[in-house]
Amino acid sequence: MCDVKHYWNKTERCGSISCMPPKRPLSEEELECLRGCNEYLYYCKMRERFEDGVCAFCNPELFDNVVLYQIHGWTVWGVPRGYSSYGHVLETQLVFFPRYHIRHLNDLKQSEREGFWELIDWIYQNYSIPGGAFFTRVGNMSHNVGTVPHLHFNVFVPNRLGEVIIPLQKDYHTWMEDDRRMKEFSARYEAGERP
């Protein structure tokens, strides 16, 4: 039995990846998430997960990320090159998230609220963070330009070699550029091109 948790039945476990239903159409929110993917590799991984109804953070073993630490229902991983357009301007880029599917901070269990601070301590003990940002986006991704519809925190430590901007909402021009890129990625994906 695998541990893949599907959107269409969050309580039941499947027997294997091959038991997944046929690819399903993407929701408006999932399209918004894909619009935010700046790298083709990341777009492909996210689109595959969305089509399969599988959450990337509920099933981190399906991604190329290496789990760095787990405590009280939290997982932390480093973001590999190719998944982020920030890699060239960041000294450190981490993501940490609760293992079960939630979208808002007030959905955290008490043990996870307490474990959160232990996780923060672990990050500071294991990474040099002279400055930077710990941030999260919550709720519907169309309201915050996020790319993974699962509560998670990002840790950005700039390398001081370039500008780092963390968007919450994009202007029309930027949205149109993201839309153009998503359509290009979509055409490549639908033509069968994979990284």
Q: What is the pLDDT of residues 41-58, one digit of tens each?
A: 989 989 998 998 888 888
Residue 171 has φ and ψ, to the nearest 5°, of: -75, 170
Q: Is residue 39 part of a domain?
A: yes
Which tokens sit at 105? 């901070």
Domain count for the chain, please give it.
Answer: 1
CATH, residue 92: 3.30.428.10
Are the C-beta atoms of 73 and 58 separated by less than 8 Å? Answer: no
The parent domain of residue 111 ranges over: 27-190
Q: Is residue 9 part of a domain?
A: no
Which tokens sit at 23? 């690819």
Q: Is residue 20 part of a domain?
A: no
**CA gap 148, 57 in Å, rounded:** 8
Q: Is residue 16 part of a domain?
A: no
What is residue 31's three-state secondary structure? Answer: helix
Q: What is the pLDDT of residues 92-140, one digit of tens each?
A: 999 999 988 999 999 999 999 999 999 999 999 999 999 999 999 999 9
pTM: 0.79
Tell me the one-letter amino acid at 92.
Answer: T
Q: Is residue 122 part of a domain?
A: yes
Report the half-sphere exposure of 71 (CA within 13 A, side-chain side).
15
Q: Is residue 61 part of a domain?
A: yes
